[in-house]
Amino acid sequence: MATILAIETSCDETSVAVVRDCQVLSNVVSSQIAIHQQYGGVVPEVASRQHVEIINWALAHSLEQAQLDWSGIDGIAATAAPGLVGALLVGLTAAKTLAMLHQKPFLGVHHLEGHIYASYLSEPALEPPFLCLLVSGGHTSLIYVKDCGHYETLGQTRDDAAGEAFDKVARLMNLGYPGGPVIDRLAAEGNPQAFSLPEGQVSLPEGGYHRYDSSFSGLKTAVLRLSQKLQQSEGALPVADLAASFQDTVARSLTKRAIACALDYGLDTIAVGGGVAANKGLRRRLQAAAAERNLRVLFPPMQFCTDNAAMIGCAAADHFNRGHRSPLTLGTQSRMAIANVMQLYAT
């Protein structure tokens, strides 16, 4: 058993958690959404400054809630990649400094591996292999989870991430930021069949379409064109019907790919992670399609779908128990394939 203090600052949430393997002892999350809302999206420099302001408070609060002092902590972890470099640097530097000060092992964590481990927080008995559908503001991936630290990306988006598509469509409909929750809310009152929208497909050079890759930029453009046309002809936009039709198209696209991928690779469990895992349309469609095929779908509780340090700590604990440690010279990286997770650890 490992008790890990973990820090997550890869984007716009400052989070510090204490976990004992998959058990969450504390998970403090301070969201910057209200600050970035006025700009219509995350401003990297503002995010870094805000992390600096909040990090010490979050650290103190997290230890206090876990009712532990530093003597009860076995290792200190932080997200090292991928993410906004300046934002990552705040959490990573704090973790390395604390590791030196308190003479504890230090572990850098891959952000996407953290999202995969969110499923273990509510399902500690989960065992690889399984498929992870990771749908967030920055990523849309189908990941074959082989073992701790060993992953293969089987499918991904060729342009916008699913959450990014929700955010961009909400912006063009003047619904504010972040777009996912507001579109989800409006979609509940709309007709998903009101408008027929194109589900982006990725062509293969040999003909046909990629079974697992997705594309959302064409869908976003289609919503833009349709909104312009409707505005000219009707005056006001039928926002609920538009939101429902857009959301259903995204949910259908993700469901089709995840089910095909799980069946092709003989995986009986699909663990969903990332902010878009909260989406009610996606949950409904994926659960229904999986039940038809006798597949199991796991949706972590909402607080573990969006960015949080508990999932980072849970991933770090598994690495810690396997003897993996990161060098204090480890730096941040804005991009890093999940296949390269083990590069974060000295062998």
Q: Which is nearer to Zn ion, 99 or 134 (CB)?
A: 134
Give the Cα separation of 249 and 264 in Å (integer). Answer: 23
* Spatial separation of the C-alpha atoms in residues 259 and 157, rounded to whole Å: 16
Among 126, 117, 110, 122, residue whose Cα is nearest residue 267: 126
Footprint of ligand KG4 on this chain (CB under 6 A)?
11, 136-138, 163, 166-167, 178-181, 184, 274-276, 278-279, 306-307
137 binding partner (options Zn ion, ligand KG4, none; Cβ < 5 to 8 Å by kind) = ligand KG4
* 132/44 Cα distance (integer angstroms): 28
Nearer to Zn ion, 33 or 100 (CB): 33
CA distance 279 to 184: 6
d(CA 19, CA 313): 6
Taking alpha carbons only, the member of 162, 183, 146 closest to residue 274 is 162
Residues that bind Zn ion (CB under 5 A): 136, 307
- Of 107 and 173, CB closest to Zn ion: 107
Closer residue to ligand KG4, CB minimum distance, 75 or 313: 313
The single-letter code of the amino acid at 168 is: K
Residue 69 CB, shortest distance to ligand KG4, in Å, is: 30
Q: Of 105 and 273, which CB lies nearer to ligand KG4 in the complex structure?
A: 273
Determine the residue with CB nearest ligand KG4. Answer: 180
Out of Zn ion, ligand KG4, none, what residue 178 binds, judged by CB under 5 to 8 A for its kind, is ligand KG4
Taking the C-alpha atoms of residue 248 and residue 12, their distance in angstroms, rounded to an integer, is 27
Q: What letter represents residue 215's amino acid?
A: S
Q: Which does 192 bind (CB under 5 to 8 A by kind): ligand KG4, Zn ion, none?
A: none
Select 63 or 338, whichever has its Cβ closest to ligand KG4: 338
CB 6 within 8 A of CB 19: yes
Closest distance between ligand KG4 and the C-beta of residue 163, in Å? 3
Minimum distance from residue 195 beta carbon to Zn ion (Å): 30
- The token pair at 298 is 């796991």
Binding partner of residue 27 among ligand KG4, Zn ion, none, CB cut-off 5 to 8 Å per kind? none
- Least Å distance between CB 136 and ligand KG4? 3
Residue 189 and residue 113: Cα distance in Å, rounded?
35
